Chains A and B, each alone.
Chain A
Amino acid sequence: MLAIYKKELRSYFNSMIGYVFMAFFLLIIGVYYFFNNLMYHLANFEYTLSLISFIFILLTPLLTMRLMAEENKQKTDQLLYTAPVTATAIVVGKFLAVLTILSMVMGITCFYPLILSRYGDVQLSSAYAGIGAFLLLGAAYLSMGLFISSLTDSQVVAAVISFVVFLFTVLMDGIAGMFSSDNKTAVIVFSVILVLICIMLYKMMHNLTVAIGVGVVCEAVLLTLFFTNPTLFDGSVRKVFSWLSVNTRYDNFTIGVFDLSAIVYYISFTVLFNFLTVQVIKKKRWS
């Protein structure tokens, strides 16, 4: 794991990507910091961070696009998968490398609240909680980017798909708000999602009976639940969609609340996508 971690980290700083990422990230944080905190005398650095969470949509694909895609393309995956290391160690090593780069950026931003505190009273604890949560938010995006990169052997495809998916997670909150909260809409939306899942299942397994079978069973469960207990579905579309909205979890930190559920959410989100990446690698062995 350490070997892969070191190699990845070195490759980011041997090429321009690592520097470009860090420089651009720090530039944007710096600009927002300057205007919000220094010019308009706002003492909350965590609020500044919440304004720039969109930055992850643009910058994380830059880091994660090559992680697995490049190995697949250069056939260096053969070296990794025939070496005495587990798939988990490979994925975790790579993930920790990109996380380290993000941590470096966030490490530098740790000085910003200190600078502010020279000019007045700053609640450092909430500022640092904000920085920590921002790092975890980034980790969630990085793990998703890593997963998408493992699905393809083209960096460009990985970058574009990551970008679209990340954009979707940001827009998710708005989209969820557009659906009415009655239970009939909920059932229709869930049915549509179910159909999409079944199509994906068929594409992956090439087995029509399994795909249709799963679809029919799930739809039956859905409808039974709907007729026996319709109130269960009240407002559920918004609830489900907001599960996927990664950015809004940060909102509580903006107002200085330490939201443990958000921390747990980010960590489990990260673990889930790392786990999925490991599964993609293992599946490749079997296809």
Chain B
Amino acid sequence: MVEVKNLSKRYGDHLAVDNLSFTVDKGQILGFLGPNGAGKSTTMNIITGYISATEGSVKINGVDIFDEPEEVKKMIGYLPEFPPLYPDMTVKEYLYFVADLKKVEKKKRKQMISDIMEATKITPMADRLIKHLSKGYKQRVGLAQAIMGYPELIILDEPTVGLDPKQIIEMRELIKDLSKNHTVILSSHIMQEVSAVCDTVMIIDKGKLIISDKPENLSARLGATGGLRLSVKGDKKVIFEALKGVNRINKIVRHAYVNPGVVELTVYCNENEDIREEVFYALVKANTPILEMQSLRMSLEDIFLKVTSSSKHSSLQEADGNDAEESVEKEVSSNAGDI
């Protein structure tokens, strides 16, 4: 459906997109993931024909955007980073204009617009001026605009920015619905979004493709870390004494103090080892009940940080992210000794 080959975009000396190649099959949802300025929007702008590439080609259904821009643009619906709305129009006027612009047949226009307004839940706002809408509604009107004419390929640049949590969930549902009949490319810098919706994730940094895989494979490939996160009720010394008895534990890290009488800690072991039972029995013996136990798995968030931060310091602790942890860690290691 979409075929991107060796795409590059150069602004002066700055290389915004660097030799990017990928394909998207029909009915798939592809997610671009990357920090700000990674080249996500630039890539999307090139695919939609808004700007041109310095090198490389984009083909949609075998038609090159460069050779036959009009043909290709008919197949694409695009929601840019800032929804392209005319503030002085009402929602309905705007959608009629878009339908006209995208050459939707006159007979189908009315039905299509009311369907799309229904799907994006903006029907109650139909007669309001766009400038009076909230950010969330503006985003939805932008989405309605992108769906107009039901193009085969829908490209959404950060579709959930500025939405509240409920709207975000609704937006995801909507995108999933769309993928039944359309191919979708979306970008985001929020992991959960991508892992919740996308079939394939592409992590991009500094214009380069870093990794591309299914979300579940990504965490399997990069996310294997042996360890448990625990909250245990009881005295610190007793707990550490008990855990010393478990041979397979490599390291214990105590976390910031939260509740009195409850110790929060992470224990690490070798990858692919299961120490849950041993830890459980050891702590039961010490009469310190486990309140919570959770296997450590790298979330997409961590993978993303690990992959995109090129610095060598990015160890797992950092990825877990919490300033208080590091200071306590030293204290713990001096207290507990090497385990």
Interface residues of A (CB under 8 A from B): 2-4, 6-7, 10-11, 14-15, 74-86, 284-286
Q: Which of B84-92, B115-123, B183-191 contacts A (4 or more CB under 8 A)?
A: B84-92
Output the nearest chain B residue to A79 by Cβ-Cβ distance.
B84
Check if B76 is an interface residue, CB within 8 A of chain A: yes
Residues of the B chain whose Cβ atoms lie less than 8 Å from the Cβ of A81: 49-50
| CB atoms of A6 and B100 under 8 A apart | yes
Interface string of B89-119 (1 = CB under 8 A from A): 1000100011011110000000000000000
| CB atoms of A74 and B50 under 8 A apart | no
| CB atoms of A11 and B86 under 8 A apart | yes
Check if B159 is an interface residue, CB within 8 A of chain A: no
| CB atoms of B100 and A75 under 8 A apart | no
Output the nearest chain A residue to B102 by Cβ-Cβ distance.
A83
Check if B82 is an interface residue, CB within 8 A of chain A: yes
Given contact pairs A2-B100, A3-B101, A84-B102, A76 touches B86 in the complex (Cβ within 8 A): yes
| CB atoms of A78 and B80 under 8 A apart | yes
Contact of A83 (CB < 8 Å), options: B73, B80, B86, B87: B73
| CB atoms of A86 and B70 under 8 A apart | yes
Contact of A75 (CB < 8 Å), options: B70, B84, B98: B84
10 sampled A-B residue pairs with Cβ under 8 A: A3-B97, A11-B89, A14-B89, A74-B84, A78-B50, A82-B50, A82-B73, A82-B78, A84-B103, A85-B101
Q: Total contacts A to B, CB within 8 angstroms?
A: 70
Output the nearest chain B residue to A11 by Cβ-Cβ distance.
B88
A10 to B50, CA, bound (A): 26
Interface string of B126-162 (1 = CB under 8 A from A): 0000000000000000000100000000000000000
| CB atoms of B101 and A80 under 8 A apart | yes
Residues of the A chain whose Cβ atoms lie less than 8 Å from the Cβ of B324: none
Interface string of B239-275 (1 = CB under 8 A from A): 0000000000000000000000000000000000000
| CB atoms of A79 and B98 under 8 A apart | yes
A23 to B235, CA, bound (A): 86
A86 to B98, CA, bound (A): 15
In the complex, the 4 A-B pairs of residues with the closest C-beta atoms, listed nearest first: A3-B100, A79-B84, A76-B84, A84-B73
Within 8 A of A (CB), among B7-51: 45, 48-51
A85 to B73, CA, bound (A): 8
Contact of B76 (CB < 8 Å), options: A2, A11, A76, A82: A82
Residues of the A chain whose Cβ atoms lie less than 8 Å from the Cβ of B73: 82-84
| CB atoms of B145 and A79 under 8 A apart | yes
Contacts beyond the supplied A10-B93, A79-B145, A285-B51: 15 A-B pairs with Cβ under 8 Å:
A11-B86, A11-B88, A74-B84, A74-B85, A74-B87, A76-B86, A79-B78, A79-B80, A80-B84, A82-B78, A84-B102, A85-B70, A284-B51, A285-B52, A286-B52
Output the nearest chain A residue to B157 by Cβ-Cβ distance.
A78
A206 to B89, CA, bound (A): 40
Output the nearest chain A residue to B73 by Cβ-Cβ distance.
A84
Check if B74 is an interface residue, CB within 8 A of chain A: yes
A15 to B129, CA, bound (A): 13
| CB atoms of A75 and B82 under 8 A apart | yes
| CB atoms of A83 and B50 under 8 A apart | no
Residues of the B chain whose Cβ atoms lie less than 8 Å from the Cβ of A11: 86, 88-89
A134 to B79, CA, bound (A): 43
Residues of the A chain whose Cβ atoms lie less than 8 Å from the Cβ of B45: 78
A284 to B49, CA, bound (A): 12
Interface string of B193-236 (1 = CB under 8 A from A): 00000000000000000000000000000000000000000000
| CB atoms of B48 and A82 under 8 A apart | yes
Closest CB in chain A relative to B209 CB, distance in Å: 23
A74 to B100, CA, bound (A): 20
Closest CB in chain B relative to A223 CB, distance in Å: 36
A84 to B98, CA, bound (A): 11
A3 to B73, CA, bound (A): 16
| CB atoms of A76 and B78 under 8 A apart | no
Residues of the B chain whose Cβ atoms lie less than 8 Å from the Cβ of A286: 51-52
Output the nearest chain A residue to B87 by Cβ-Cβ distance.
A74
Residues of the B chain whose Cβ atoms lie less than 8 Å from the Cβ of A2: 100
| CB atoms of B80 and A75 under 8 A apart | yes
Closest CB in chain A relative to B104 CB, distance in Å: 10
Residues of the B chain whose Cβ atoms lie less than 8 Å from the Cβ of A80: 84, 101
| CB atoms of B50 and A7 under 8 A apart | no
Contact of A14 (CB < 8 Å), options: B80, B85, B88: B88
Closest CB in chain A relative to B133 CB, distance in Å: 14
A4 to B45, CA, bound (A): 22
**Counting chain B CB atoms within 10 Å of each CB, which of A2, A4, A14, A78 scores highest?**
A78
A80 to B84, CA, bound (A): 9
Contact of A285 (CB < 8 Å), options: B50, B93, B103: B50
Residues of the B chain whose Cβ atoms lie less than 8 Å from the Cβ of A85: 70, 101
Output the nearest chain B residue to A2 by Cβ-Cβ distance.
B100
Output the nearest chain A residue to B84 by Cβ-Cβ distance.
A79
Contact of A7 (CB < 8 Å), options: B48, B71, B74, B97: B97
Closest CB in chain A relative to B98 CB, distance in Å: 7
Residues of the A chain whose Cβ atoms lie less than 8 Å from the Cβ of B89: 11, 14
| CB atoms of B101 and A79 under 8 A apart | yes
